[in-house]
A and B are shown apart, each in its own frame.
Chain A
């Protein structure tokens, strides 16, 4: 089975901190995605990547950046965390036409 591993399950950070959320997949998937999930708003795409060093903005990229230096790893970076970035963050990977696999999520609280 494909595994998508997110480095932290729960995270508490202070306003203004730089925050790194790490995601690793183990099945050589080309596509990787970062979503955030908020009550009443559902899942929204932040950034995605089709290949190493390639990235594209999703629907809500403001305040975030990403890095994909290796195929298996896709990092989400909050340059200066703010309280409105408190959310559940979900990473996913996919191979074209072969379905999605999601990580178990990181619940980030910014205080």
Chain B
């Protein structure tokens, strides 16, 4: 299973874009990148996933580099409710392996 590396914490001003980086240099060709988040005391919540192309949905955008060794999750207009731990996961063999994630604090 490919390993991911994320900064332990980040701050973002409310209303600004939050850009969360993730390194996954050992990703293999058929592995997807998934992003989940966990708001305090709640279960993890799916955000977005991608393979090669950039993806966008109602929650976020996912930018994957051409060599697929890193990706960035973008929350275009962060709100206080986006304060959470964000997990970047490379899916392996039917299970999600959660790392430490990035604790994003959105401040007024």
The yes or no verdict on A and B being binding partners is: no
Interface residues of A (CB under 8 A from B): none
Q: Which residues of B contact A (CB under 8 A)?
A: none
